[in-house]
Amino acid sequence: MKKTILITGTSSGIGYSIAKEFSEANYKVIATIRKVKDAERLKKELNENVYPIICDVTNPEQVNDLARYVKEISLNGLLDGLINNAAIEIVSPIEFQDLEDTRTLFETNLFGLMHVTQTLLPLLGTSSKANKHTGRIINVSSVGGVLSLPFLSAYATTKHALEGYSHSLRRELSLFGIKVIILAPGAIKSKIWEKDQLDKKSYNGSRYEQPFKSFKKMMVKAEKNAASSASIAKFTLKIFETSSPKVRYTFTPGRFFNWTLPSILPHKGVDFIFNKVISLSKK
């Protein structure tokens, strides 16, 4: 019997690649997207194991409908896996950050994720009707869930919160044998840093202008050696199928400099590096 998983945020990037990887491994994949045109595209581009569902994780009514969709699509009415991937980010100095945009970020990256999880827990194995069924949850966090970069404060804050939520969730769900795994990718190949759509108008001419330009150059350089979404998807399938998974996996190229070293340095040591690389020290 095919296993059924649900993945949020599958229109592009990591989510799309994970949906493709799992569907090719013969899983039934319920793939959430926000736009009808993306649902049609997924049907054309991916195989018959993919079931695109319109669901914005910030829309309570659409999230509440997810359980019904799972029951219709899954052969036993239960869910074998939930991969919480949907996320957005804001790039801005904190001083000029729009608080409404920040609230939207939290609704997507944290509160929407919590609602999706809460809605689907009975189908993952917490319900008495689940008959000892045990699903598995992978929460896609980020290296930024531990290492906070400048100009990505709101995103880093949501990922720090997600890490804390995941640890509490894992401990609670051990009661049912449901494993909760944190997957924390580092730099991923993306076009965001090559685009001029980042909002710089509000701080052009300010003290932030030059450090931000240096930060952008740093991110463009990192992206050249970044992991592909396809490689992360293969790794996601591997840890999903591992019988005894770790609590947390970090997936990043240049692991020593991008993860190990910043993890063992004191906070002021990391501050010193950023000050040197993107000129954040007071002059």
Q: List pLDDT tens digits, range 166-197.
A: 999 999 999 999 999 999 998 887 655 555 44
Residue 129: inside a domain: yes
Joined tokens for residue 49: 């194991």
109 lies in some domain: yes
- Any idea what the CATH number is for the domain that residue 46 is in? 3.40.50.720
Q: Could you list the active site residues?
A: 155
Q: pLDDT tens-digit profile of 223-271?
A: 888 889 999 999 999 999 999 999 999 998 777 777 787 888 899 998 8
Give the integer Cα–Cα distance in Å for 15 and 279: 35
* CB 11 within 8 Å of CB 38: yes
Q: Is 170 part of a structural domain of the chain?
A: yes
Ranges of H-type helices in 74-204: 99-106, 112-121, 153-173
Q: Is residue 282 part of a domain?
A: no
Q: Using CA atoms, how far apart are residues 214 and 156, in angstroms rounded to an integer? A: 19
Q: What share of the chain is helix, strand, coil (3-state, %, to 5)?
A: 55, 15, 35
Which amino acid belongs to residue 186?
G
What's the CA gap between 137 and 114, in Å, rounded? 12
Q: For residue 258, tell me if it sits in a domain.
A: no
Q: How many domains does the chain have?
A: 1
**Does some domain include residue 241?**
yes
- In a domain, residue 199? The reply is no
The whole domain housing 243 covers 4-193+227-253
Residue 180 φ then ψ, to 5°: -120, 125
- Is 101 domain-assigned? yes
Q: Could you read off the pLDDT of 104-134 as tens digits, one per residue?
A: 999 999 999 999 999 999 999 999 888 889 9
> Model's pTM, two decimal places?
0.94
